[in-house]
Structure 1
Protein backbone atom coordinates (compact mmCIF):
# COMPACT_ATOMS: atom_id res chain seq x y z
CA UNK A 1 0.00 0.00 0.00
CA UNK A 2 1.36 3.41 -1.02
CA UNK A 3 1.78 5.78 1.92
CA UNK A 4 0.89 8.94 0.03
CA UNK A 5 -2.34 7.45 -1.32
CA UNK A 6 -3.31 6.44 2.21
CA UNK A 7 -2.36 9.60 4.06
CA UNK A 8 -3.49 12.27 1.60
CA UNK A 9 -7.26 11.87 2.13
CA UNK A 10 -6.74 11.71 5.89
CA UNK A 11 -4.55 14.79 6.07
CA UNK A 12 -6.61 16.79 3.58
CA UNK A 13 -9.75 15.86 5.49
CA UNK A 14 -8.35 16.88 8.82
CA UNK A 15 -6.79 20.09 7.51
CA UNK A 16 -10.27 21.55 7.30
CA UNK A 17 -11.87 19.91 10.30
CA UNK A 18 -12.90 22.46 12.91
CA UNK A 19 -14.24 25.98 13.19
CA UNK A 20 -16.19 27.91 15.83
CA UNK A 21 -18.58 30.84 15.80
CA UNK A 22 -21.12 32.92 17.75
CA UNK A 23 -24.40 34.56 16.81
CA UNK A 24 -24.38 38.34 16.60
CA UNK A 25 -27.00 40.87 17.61
CA UNK A 26 -26.55 42.47 14.17
CA UNK A 27 -28.26 39.52 12.41
CA UNK A 28 -31.86 39.89 11.26
CA UNK A 29 -34.39 37.51 12.80
CA UNK A 30 -34.77 35.35 9.68
CA UNK A 31 -30.99 34.77 9.47
CA UNK A 32 -30.51 36.64 6.18
CA UNK A 33 -27.76 39.15 5.52
CA UNK A 34 -28.26 42.64 6.88
CA UNK A 35 -27.42 44.67 3.79
CA UNK A 36 -26.60 47.74 5.87
CA UNK A 37 -23.43 46.12 7.26
CA UNK A 38 -20.18 47.39 5.83
CA UNK A 39 -17.26 45.15 4.94
CA UNK A 40 -15.41 46.59 7.94
CA UNK A 41 -18.24 45.51 10.27
CA UNK A 42 -18.42 42.00 8.79
CA UNK A 43 -14.64 41.54 9.05
CA UNK A 44 -14.78 42.73 12.67
CA UNK A 45 -17.55 40.25 13.49
CA UNK A 46 -15.62 37.46 11.79
CA UNK A 47 -12.46 38.20 13.77
CA UNK A 48 -14.43 38.14 17.05
CA UNK A 49 -15.48 34.52 16.41
CA UNK A 50 -11.95 33.11 16.62
CA UNK A 51 -12.22 30.37 19.27
CA UNK A 52 -10.58 30.58 22.66
CA UNK A 53 -9.48 27.18 24.00
CA UNK A 54 -6.37 25.34 25.08
CA UNK A 55 -7.00 21.82 23.73
CA UNK A 56 -9.51 20.11 21.44
CA UNK A 57 -10.19 16.46 20.71
CA UNK A 58 -12.71 14.54 18.59
CA UNK A 59 -13.47 11.33 16.73
CA UNK A 60 -13.87 11.99 13.02
CA UNK A 61 -15.26 9.70 10.34
CA UNK A 62 -13.76 10.59 6.96
CA UNK A 63 -15.33 9.22 3.78
CA UNK A 64 -13.23 9.58 0.64
CA UNK A 65 -14.04 8.90 -3.00
CA UNK A 66 -12.09 9.38 -6.23
CA UNK A 67 -13.38 7.70 -9.36
CA UNK A 68 -13.97 4.04 -8.52
CA UNK A 69 -11.91 4.26 -5.33
CA UNK A 70 -13.71 4.88 -2.04
CA UNK A 71 -12.55 4.60 1.56
CA UNK A 72 -13.82 5.34 5.04
CA UNK A 73 -11.58 5.99 8.05
CA UNK A 74 -12.23 6.93 11.65
CA UNK A 75 -9.44 8.97 13.21
CA UNK A 76 -8.69 10.50 16.58
CA UNK A 77 -7.90 14.20 16.40
CA UNK A 78 -6.22 16.33 19.07
CA UNK A 79 -5.01 19.91 19.06
CA UNK A 80 -2.88 21.92 21.46
CA UNK A 81 -3.62 25.36 20.12
CA UNK A 82 -0.69 27.10 18.41
CA UNK A 83 1.58 24.14 19.17
CA UNK A 84 0.44 20.67 18.05
CA UNK A 85 -2.04 19.04 15.66
CA UNK A 86 -2.16 15.27 16.23
CA UNK A 87 -4.02 12.57 14.27
CA UNK A 88 -4.15 8.81 14.83
CA UNK A 89 -6.05 6.18 12.84
CA UNK A 90 -7.56 2.99 14.25
CA UNK A 91 -5.02 0.75 16.00
CA UNK A 92 -2.42 3.53 15.58
CA UNK A 93 -1.62 2.25 12.09
CA UNK A 94 -1.15 5.79 10.78
CA UNK A 95 -0.12 8.63 13.09
CA UNK A 96 0.48 12.28 12.21
CA UNK A 97 1.99 15.09 14.28
CA UNK A 98 2.16 18.65 12.98
CA UNK A 99 4.03 21.39 14.81
CA UNK A 100 5.11 24.91 13.77
CA UNK A 101 8.47 23.40 12.80
CA UNK A 102 7.53 20.32 10.76
CA UNK A 103 5.11 17.61 9.60
CA UNK A 104 5.74 14.02 10.74
CA UNK A 105 3.87 10.76 10.18
CA UNK A 106 4.37 7.03 9.94
CA UNK A 107 2.46 4.11 8.43
CA UNK A 108 2.70 0.65 9.97
CA UNK A 109 1.11 -0.98 6.91
CA UNK A 110 4.23 -0.49 4.81
CA UNK A 111 6.77 0.47 7.51
CA UNK A 112 7.44 3.95 6.12
CA UNK A 113 7.63 7.43 7.62
CA UNK A 114 7.97 11.10 6.71
CA UNK A 115 9.65 13.75 8.84
CA UNK A 116 10.01 17.07 7.06
CA UNK A 117 8.62 20.48 6.13
CA UNK A 118 5.17 21.67 5.06
CA UNK A 119 5.75 21.05 1.34
CA UNK A 120 3.67 17.86 1.46
CA UNK A 121 0.62 19.69 2.82
CA UNK A 122 1.26 22.62 0.48
CA UNK A 123 1.26 20.24 -2.51
CA UNK A 124 -2.14 18.86 -1.46
CA UNK A 125 -3.86 22.25 -1.30
CA UNK A 126 -1.80 23.90 -4.01
CA UNK A 127 -0.75 26.87 -1.90
CA UNK A 128 2.07 27.55 0.52
CA UNK A 129 1.13 26.44 4.02
CA UNK A 130 2.62 26.81 7.46
CA UNK A 131 1.31 25.84 10.89
CA UNK A 132 -0.67 29.05 11.30
CA UNK A 133 -2.48 28.61 7.99
CA UNK A 134 -3.28 24.97 8.74
CA UNK A 135 -4.64 25.93 12.15
CA UNK A 136 -6.70 28.74 10.61
CA UNK A 137 -8.35 26.22 8.30
CA UNK A 138 -9.03 23.86 11.19
CA UNK A 139 -10.69 26.66 13.14
CA UNK A 140 -12.68 28.05 10.20
CA UNK A 141 -10.67 31.24 10.05
CA UNK A 142 -9.67 32.76 6.69
CA UNK A 143 -6.59 31.12 5.23
CA UNK A 144 -5.33 34.57 4.31
CA UNK A 145 -6.11 37.45 6.66
CA UNK A 146 -9.19 39.48 5.80
CA UNK A 147 -8.79 43.26 5.60
CA UNK A 148 -11.02 46.02 4.30
CA UNK A 149 -8.13 47.46 2.30
CA UNK A 150 -7.41 44.25 0.37
CA UNK A 151 -10.87 42.64 -0.09
CA UNK A 152 -14.12 43.69 -1.69
CA UNK A 153 -17.48 42.49 -0.30
CA UNK A 154 -20.80 41.77 -1.92
CA UNK A 155 -23.90 39.80 -0.96
CA UNK A 156 -24.38 36.49 -2.79
CA UNK A 157 -27.31 34.15 -1.99
CA UNK A 158 -27.81 35.84 1.41
CA UNK A 159 -24.16 35.34 2.35
CA UNK A 160 -21.25 37.73 2.46
CA UNK A 161 -18.87 37.12 -0.44
CA UNK A 162 -15.30 38.37 -0.06
CA UNK A 163 -12.65 38.30 -2.76
CA UNK A 164 -9.32 40.09 -3.12
CA UNK A 165 -9.60 43.43 -4.91
CA UNK A 166 -6.73 42.23 -7.06
CA UNK A 167 -6.80 38.45 -7.53
CA UNK A 168 -3.39 36.84 -7.53
CA UNK A 169 -1.83 35.66 -10.78
CA UNK A 170 -1.47 32.02 -9.69
CA UNK A 171 -4.78 31.50 -7.89
CA UNK A 172 -8.14 33.09 -7.16
CA UNK A 173 -9.61 33.17 -3.65
CA UNK A 174 -13.23 33.45 -2.50
CA UNK A 175 -14.75 33.44 0.99
CA UNK A 176 -18.44 33.00 1.80
CA UNK A 177 -19.22 34.19 5.34
CA UNK A 178 -22.43 33.24 7.11
CA UNK A 179 -24.62 36.17 8.22
CA UNK A 180 -25.68 34.09 11.24
CA UNK A 181 -22.41 33.16 12.96
CA UNK A 182 -19.93 35.17 10.82
CA UNK A 183 -17.66 32.17 10.25
CA UNK A 184 -16.83 30.68 6.87
CA UNK A 185 -19.63 28.84 5.09
CA UNK A 186 -17.22 28.09 2.25
CA UNK A 187 -13.61 28.70 1.28
CA UNK A 188 -12.79 28.34 -2.41
CA UNK A 189 -9.39 28.38 -4.07
CA UNK A 190 -9.09 28.21 -7.87
CA UNK A 191 -5.86 27.76 -9.84
CA UNK A 192 -6.81 28.19 -13.51
CA UNK A 193 -3.30 27.60 -14.87
CA UNK A 194 -3.08 24.29 -12.99
CA UNK A 195 -6.72 23.36 -13.69
CA UNK A 196 -7.17 22.86 -9.94
CA UNK A 197 -10.07 23.87 -7.69
CA UNK A 198 -10.62 23.36 -3.96
CA UNK A 199 -13.97 23.95 -2.25
CA UNK A 200 -14.55 23.46 1.48
CA UNK A 201 -18.21 23.65 2.58
CA UNK A 202 -19.20 23.77 6.25
CA UNK A 203 -22.67 22.17 6.28
CA UNK A 204 -23.93 21.40 9.82
CA UNK A 205 -22.75 22.52 13.25
CA UNK A 206 -22.93 21.34 16.85
CA UNK A 207 -22.56 23.23 20.13
CA UNK A 208 -19.73 22.16 22.47
CA UNK A 209 -19.11 24.20 25.63
CA UNK A 210 -20.81 27.20 24.03
CA UNK A 211 -18.61 26.86 20.97
CA UNK A 212 -20.07 26.10 17.53
CA UNK A 213 -18.19 23.25 15.85
CA UNK A 214 -18.80 21.48 12.55
CA UNK A 215 -20.82 18.29 12.47
CA UNK A 216 -20.62 17.63 8.72
CA UNK A 217 -18.24 19.05 6.13
CA UNK A 218 -17.90 18.36 2.42
CA UNK A 219 -14.69 18.97 0.47
CA UNK A 220 -14.43 18.86 -3.31
CA UNK A 221 -11.05 18.84 -5.05
CA UNK A 222 -10.96 19.15 -8.84
CA UNK A 223 -7.68 18.66 -10.69
CA UNK A 224 -7.80 18.50 -14.51
CA UNK A 225 -10.32 15.67 -15.12
CA UNK A 226 -10.03 14.12 -11.63
CA UNK A 227 -12.54 14.79 -8.83
CA UNK A 228 -11.99 13.92 -5.17
CA UNK A 229 -14.81 14.20 -2.63
CA UNK A 230 -14.24 14.02 1.12
CA UNK A 231 -17.11 14.02 3.63
CA UNK A 232 -16.57 14.21 7.38
CA UNK A 233 -18.77 13.60 10.42
CA UNK A 234 -17.60 14.68 13.88
CA UNK A 235 -18.44 12.94 17.15
CA UNK A 236 -17.36 13.05 20.80
CA UNK A 237 -15.95 16.56 20.56
CA UNK A 238 -14.52 18.03 23.79
CA UNK A 239 -12.49 21.06 24.76
CA UNK A 240 -9.84 21.85 27.36
CA UNK A 241 -9.12 18.32 28.53
CA UNK A 242 -5.67 17.16 29.60
CA UNK A 243 -4.32 15.43 26.47
CA UNK A 244 -1.21 13.58 25.38
CA UNK A 245 0.30 13.68 21.89
CA UNK A 246 2.51 10.58 21.71
CA UNK A 247 4.62 10.21 18.59
CA UNK A 248 7.69 8.08 18.03
CA UNK A 249 8.81 6.73 14.66
CA UNK A 250 9.29 2.96 15.02
CA UNK A 251 12.80 1.68 14.42
CA UNK A 252 13.52 0.07 11.07
CA UNK A 253 10.97 2.13 9.11
CA UNK A 254 11.97 3.48 5.70
CA UNK A 255 11.96 7.26 5.22
CA UNK A 256 9.79 8.79 2.50
CA UNK A 257 11.67 11.50 0.60
CA UNK A 258 9.49 13.84 -1.45
CA UNK A 259 10.88 14.69 -4.89
Structure 2
Protein backbone atom coordinates (compact mmCIF):
# COMPACT_ATOMS: atom_id res chain seq x y z
CA UNK A 1 0.00 0.00 0.00
CA UNK A 2 2.87 2.40 0.71
CA UNK A 3 4.16 2.03 -2.87
CA UNK A 4 0.68 2.81 -4.16
CA UNK A 5 0.55 5.95 -2.03
CA UNK A 6 3.97 6.95 -3.36
CA UNK A 7 2.48 6.79 -6.85
CA UNK A 8 -0.38 9.00 -5.72
CA UNK A 9 2.02 11.56 -4.30
CA UNK A 10 4.05 11.58 -7.53
CA UNK A 11 0.85 12.17 -9.44
CA UNK A 12 -0.50 14.90 -7.19
CA UNK A 13 2.70 16.93 -6.79
CA UNK A 14 2.20 19.02 -9.87
CA UNK A 15 1.14 22.59 -10.39
CA UNK A 16 1.83 26.30 -10.59
CA UNK A 17 1.95 29.38 -8.40
CA UNK A 18 3.59 32.55 -7.27
CA UNK A 19 6.47 34.44 -8.89
CA UNK A 20 7.85 37.95 -8.46
CA UNK A 21 4.97 39.38 -10.48
CA UNK A 22 2.36 37.09 -8.91
CA UNK A 23 -0.24 38.41 -6.51
CA UNK A 24 -2.71 36.62 -4.31
CA UNK A 25 -6.34 36.98 -5.30
CA UNK A 26 -8.72 38.16 -2.62
CA UNK A 27 -11.97 36.24 -3.07
CA UNK A 28 -14.52 38.92 -2.24
CA UNK A 29 -17.32 37.95 -4.64
CA UNK A 30 -20.77 36.87 -3.49
CA UNK A 31 -22.95 34.14 -4.92
CA UNK A 32 -25.85 35.20 -7.12
CA UNK A 33 -28.96 33.06 -6.84
CA UNK A 34 -29.95 34.03 -10.39
CA UNK A 35 -26.91 32.39 -12.01
CA UNK A 36 -27.83 29.26 -13.97
CA UNK A 37 -25.77 26.09 -14.34
CA UNK A 38 -25.20 26.96 -18.00
CA UNK A 39 -23.93 30.45 -17.13
CA UNK A 40 -21.63 29.10 -14.43
CA UNK A 41 -20.10 26.53 -16.79
CA UNK A 42 -19.57 29.25 -19.41
CA UNK A 43 -17.84 31.59 -16.94
CA UNK A 44 -15.64 28.78 -15.65
CA UNK A 45 -14.61 27.86 -19.20
CA UNK A 46 -13.38 31.43 -19.78
CA UNK A 47 -10.82 30.90 -16.99
CA UNK A 48 -9.11 27.88 -18.58
CA UNK A 49 -5.31 28.11 -18.40
CA UNK A 50 -3.57 29.41 -21.53
CA UNK A 51 0.10 29.05 -20.57
CA UNK A 52 2.39 26.95 -22.77
CA UNK A 53 5.02 26.08 -20.16
CA UNK A 54 5.32 26.42 -16.41
CA UNK A 55 8.03 25.91 -13.82
CA UNK A 56 7.92 26.29 -10.04
CA UNK A 57 9.13 25.11 -6.67
CA UNK A 58 6.50 23.20 -4.75
CA UNK A 59 6.50 22.58 -0.99
CA UNK A 60 4.71 19.35 -0.17
CA UNK A 61 3.48 18.25 3.24
CA UNK A 62 2.36 14.61 3.40
CA UNK A 63 0.33 13.49 6.39
CA UNK A 64 -0.19 9.78 6.87
CA UNK A 65 -0.90 7.79 10.06
CA UNK A 66 -0.53 11.03 12.07
CA UNK A 67 3.02 11.45 10.73
CA UNK A 68 3.96 14.50 8.67
CA UNK A 69 6.79 14.65 6.14
CA UNK A 70 7.80 17.70 4.11
CA UNK A 71 9.56 17.96 0.75
CA UNK A 72 10.42 20.65 -1.77
CA UNK A 73 10.51 19.71 -5.45
CA UNK A 74 11.06 21.39 -8.79
CA UNK A 75 8.12 21.23 -11.15
CA UNK A 76 8.10 21.81 -14.90
CA UNK A 77 5.18 21.46 -17.25
CA UNK A 78 4.52 21.74 -20.95
CA UNK A 79 0.77 22.08 -21.09
CA UNK A 80 -1.05 19.07 -22.54
CA UNK A 81 2.25 17.21 -23.09
CA UNK A 82 4.53 16.70 -20.08
CA UNK A 83 4.61 17.04 -16.29
CA UNK A 84 8.11 16.68 -14.77
CA UNK A 85 9.01 16.61 -11.07
CA UNK A 86 12.46 16.41 -9.48
CA UNK A 87 13.34 16.17 -5.80
CA UNK A 88 16.43 17.76 -4.25
CA UNK A 89 19.69 16.51 -5.81
CA UNK A 90 17.65 14.40 -8.22
CA UNK A 91 17.12 11.72 -5.57
CA UNK A 92 13.69 11.06 -7.04
CA UNK A 93 12.23 12.11 -10.37
CA UNK A 94 8.90 11.65 -12.12
CA UNK A 95 7.66 12.30 -15.64
CA UNK A 96 4.03 12.08 -16.69
CA UNK A 97 2.96 12.16 -20.33
CA UNK A 98 -0.37 11.38 -22.02
CA UNK A 99 0.49 7.69 -22.32
CA UNK A 100 2.94 6.96 -19.48
CA UNK A 101 3.60 7.47 -15.77
CA UNK A 102 7.28 7.04 -14.83
CA UNK A 103 9.34 7.70 -11.74
CA UNK A 104 12.49 6.48 -10.03
CA UNK A 105 13.84 6.61 -6.50
CA UNK A 106 17.60 6.63 -5.96
CA UNK A 107 17.30 6.01 -2.23
CA UNK A 108 15.70 2.59 -2.71
CA UNK A 109 17.07 1.96 -6.23
CA UNK A 110 13.58 1.39 -7.63
CA UNK A 111 11.59 2.62 -10.61
CA UNK A 112 8.07 2.48 -12.03
CA UNK A 113 7.14 2.63 -15.72
CA UNK A 114 3.49 2.12 -16.55
CA UNK A 115 0.15 3.63 -17.47
CA UNK A 116 -2.71 5.20 -15.51
CA UNK A 117 -4.59 2.01 -14.77
CA UNK A 118 -3.40 1.53 -11.19
CA UNK A 119 -4.28 5.08 -10.15
CA UNK A 120 -7.60 4.82 -11.95
CA UNK A 121 -8.44 1.67 -9.99
CA UNK A 122 -7.25 3.14 -6.73
CA UNK A 123 -9.29 6.35 -6.99
CA UNK A 124 -12.29 4.83 -8.71
CA UNK A 125 -11.93 7.39 -11.52
CA UNK A 126 -10.91 6.79 -15.12
CA UNK A 127 -7.74 8.91 -15.10
CA UNK A 128 -5.75 10.16 -18.04
CA UNK A 129 -3.29 12.99 -18.60
CA UNK A 130 -5.97 15.60 -19.28
CA UNK A 131 -7.84 14.78 -16.07
CA UNK A 132 -4.67 14.89 -13.98
CA UNK A 133 -3.62 18.21 -15.47
CA UNK A 134 -7.07 19.72 -14.98
CA UNK A 135 -7.24 18.57 -11.39
CA UNK A 136 -3.91 20.18 -10.57
CA UNK A 137 -4.47 23.56 -12.22
CA UNK A 138 -7.85 24.17 -10.66
CA UNK A 139 -10.05 23.04 -13.54
CA UNK A 140 -12.90 20.48 -13.47
CA UNK A 141 -11.79 16.88 -13.63
CA UNK A 142 -14.65 16.09 -16.03
CA UNK A 143 -15.77 17.93 -19.15
CA UNK A 144 -18.86 19.81 -18.01
CA UNK A 145 -20.40 19.52 -21.48
CA UNK A 146 -20.62 15.75 -21.08
CA UNK A 147 -23.45 15.83 -18.52
CA UNK A 148 -26.52 17.75 -17.40
CA UNK A 149 -25.81 19.62 -14.18
CA UNK A 150 -27.94 21.31 -11.57
CA UNK A 151 -26.77 24.28 -9.53
CA UNK A 152 -27.21 25.16 -5.89
CA UNK A 153 -25.45 27.61 -3.58
CA UNK A 154 -24.08 27.89 -0.10
CA UNK A 155 -22.71 31.00 1.58
CA UNK A 156 -19.43 31.09 -0.35
CA UNK A 157 -19.61 28.82 -3.39
CA UNK A 158 -21.73 27.68 -6.30
CA UNK A 159 -22.26 23.91 -6.26
CA UNK A 160 -22.65 21.87 -9.45
CA UNK A 161 -23.62 18.22 -9.47
CA UNK A 162 -24.92 15.91 -12.21
CA UNK A 163 -28.70 16.00 -12.51
CA UNK A 164 -28.62 12.23 -12.26
CA UNK A 165 -25.82 11.13 -9.94
CA UNK A 166 -24.29 7.74 -10.65
CA UNK A 167 -24.68 5.10 -7.96
CA UNK A 168 -21.05 4.14 -8.57
CA UNK A 169 -19.53 7.64 -8.49
CA UNK A 170 -21.00 10.76 -6.91
CA UNK A 171 -19.54 14.10 -8.01
CA UNK A 172 -19.75 17.55 -6.40
CA UNK A 173 -17.99 20.61 -7.85
CA UNK A 174 -17.72 23.90 -5.94
CA UNK A 175 -16.91 27.16 -7.74
CA UNK A 176 -15.69 30.50 -6.43
CA UNK A 177 -18.02 33.46 -7.16
CA UNK A 178 -15.09 35.91 -7.47
CA UNK A 179 -13.31 34.33 -10.45
CA UNK A 180 -15.33 31.17 -11.21
CA UNK A 181 -12.38 28.85 -10.66
CA UNK A 182 -12.84 25.82 -8.45
CA UNK A 183 -13.09 25.86 -4.67
CA UNK A 184 -13.32 22.08 -4.35
CA UNK A 185 -13.80 18.82 -6.26
CA UNK A 186 -15.31 15.92 -4.35
CA UNK A 187 -15.68 12.38 -5.69
CA UNK A 188 -17.33 9.62 -3.69
CA UNK A 189 -17.44 5.91 -4.54
CA UNK A 190 -19.67 4.49 -1.77
CA UNK A 191 -19.53 0.81 -2.74
CA UNK A 192 -15.74 0.75 -2.43
CA UNK A 193 -15.51 3.21 0.47
CA UNK A 194 -13.37 5.59 -1.56
CA UNK A 195 -13.39 9.35 -1.32
CA UNK A 196 -11.27 11.97 -3.06
CA UNK A 197 -11.45 15.65 -2.16
CA UNK A 198 -9.33 18.41 -3.70
CA UNK A 199 -9.68 21.80 -1.99
CA UNK A 200 -8.26 24.92 -3.65
CA UNK A 201 -7.49 27.10 -0.64
CA UNK A 202 -6.27 30.16 -2.54
CA UNK A 203 -5.48 31.47 -6.01
CA UNK A 204 -3.03 33.94 -7.48
CA UNK A 205 -2.60 35.95 -10.64
CA UNK A 206 0.55 34.92 -12.53
CA UNK A 207 1.03 36.89 -15.74
CA UNK A 208 -2.75 37.11 -16.16
CA UNK A 209 -3.24 33.41 -15.43
CA UNK A 210 -5.42 32.56 -12.42
CA UNK A 211 -3.63 29.61 -10.83
CA UNK A 212 -3.99 27.81 -7.50
CA UNK A 213 -1.70 28.94 -4.69
CA UNK A 214 -2.44 26.28 -2.09
CA UNK A 215 -4.15 22.92 -2.51
CA UNK A 216 -5.18 20.29 0.01
CA UNK A 217 -5.83 16.74 -1.24
CA UNK A 218 -7.57 14.09 0.84
CA UNK A 219 -7.64 10.51 -0.47
CA UNK A 220 -9.51 7.93 1.59
CA UNK A 221 -9.87 4.21 0.98
CA UNK A 222 -11.76 2.24 3.61
CA UNK A 223 -10.00 3.26 6.84
CA UNK A 224 -6.78 4.52 5.31
CA UNK A 225 -6.35 8.24 4.69
CA UNK A 226 -3.65 10.24 2.91
CA UNK A 227 -3.43 14.05 3.12
CA UNK A 228 -1.22 16.08 0.77
CA UNK A 229 -0.86 19.85 1.11
CA UNK A 230 0.82 21.78 -1.72
CA UNK A 231 2.26 25.28 -1.64
CA UNK A 232 3.64 26.71 -4.86
CA UNK A 233 6.49 29.21 -5.04
CA UNK A 234 8.76 30.89 -7.59
CA UNK A 235 6.60 30.08 -10.56
CA UNK A 236 7.20 31.35 -14.06
CA UNK A 237 5.25 30.70 -17.24
CA UNK A 238 6.05 30.56 -20.95
CA UNK A 239 9.80 30.15 -20.56
CA UNK A 240 11.91 27.46 -22.18
CA UNK A 241 11.95 24.24 -20.15
CA UNK A 242 13.74 20.88 -20.38
CA UNK A 243 12.66 17.47 -19.09
CA UNK A 244 15.76 15.32 -18.44
CA UNK A 245 14.67 11.83 -17.44
CA UNK A 246 16.48 8.50 -17.64
CA UNK A 247 15.87 5.53 -15.39
CA UNK A 248 19.27 4.50 -13.93
CA UNK A 249 20.55 1.07 -14.90
CA UNK A 250 20.40 -1.66 -12.30
CA UNK A 251 17.28 -0.33 -10.58
CA UNK A 252 14.54 -2.78 -9.56
CA UNK A 253 11.18 -2.32 -11.25
CA UNK A 254 8.20 -1.73 -8.98
CA UNK A 255 5.51 -4.26 -9.85
CA UNK A 256 2.12 -3.34 -8.46
CA UNK A 257 0.55 -6.71 -7.93
CA UNK A 258 -2.85 -5.40 -6.88
CA UNK A 259 -3.47 -3.47 -10.11
CA UNK A 260 -6.85 -4.66 -11.38
**Scaled by the length of structure 1, what TM-score is found?**
0.89
Cα shift at 1:10: 2.8
| Residue pair 2:104, 2:247 contacting (<8 A) in 1 also | yes
Render the CA deviation track for 1:91-143: whole Å, top value 9, x for unaligned: 11111111111111111111111111112332443311111111111221111
Corresponding residue SS for 2:164: coil
* Unaligned residue ranges in structure 1 (runs of 5+): 20-28
What is the deviation of 1:227? 2.5
Q: Number of residue pairs matched?
A: 249
Alignment partner, residue 87 of structure 2? 89
Q: Say if 1:76 and 1:89, in contact at 8 Å, map to a contact too.
A: yes
Matches for 1:134-213 after TM superposition, within 5 Å: 134-147=132-145, 150-213=148-211
> Which whole-Å CA distance do the structure 1 matches of 2:246 and 2:120 have between them?
24
Q: CA RMSD in A?
A: 2.2
Deviations 1:26-49 (A, max 9, x none): xxx951012222111111000110
Cα separation, 2, equivalents of 1:169 and 1:134: 23
**Matched residue, 1:130:** 128
User: Is the 8 Å Cα contact of residues 13 and 62 (structure 1) preserved in structure 2?
Assistant: no
* Residue of structure 2 equivalent to 1:74: 72
Aligned to 1:13: 12
1:246 to 238, 244, 247: 244
Distance in 1 between residues matched to 2:52 and 2:11, nearest whole Å:
23
Shift of 1:7: 2.6
Equivalent residue, structure 2, for 1:227:
225
Q: Write out per-residue CA displacement over residues 195-239 of structure 1, whole angstroms, 9 at most, x where no aligned residue.
A: 121111111222211222222211222222222221111100110
1:4 aligned onto 2:3: yes
User: What 5-or-longer segments of structure 2 have no aligned partner?
Assistant: 18-26
The secondary structure found in structure 1 opposite 2:50 is coil
- Match for 2:63 among 53, 62, 65? 65
Q: TM-score, normalised by structure 2?
A: 0.89
- Greater mean deviation of Cα atoms: 130-139 or 56-65: 130-139
How far apart are residue 9 of structure 1 and its match? 5.3
SS in 2 for 1:147: helix
Contact 2:9–2:228, Cα closer than 8 Å, also in 1: no
| Distance in 2, Cα, partners of 1:219 & 1:43 | 23
- 1:175: Cα distance to partner? 0.0
Deviating above 6 A after TM superposition, structure 1's stretches of 4 or more consecutive aligned residues are: none
CA distance in 2, matches of 1:228, 1:106: 21
Deviation at 1:3, TM superposition (A): 7.4
Task: Tell me which residue corresponds to 1:100.
Answer: 98
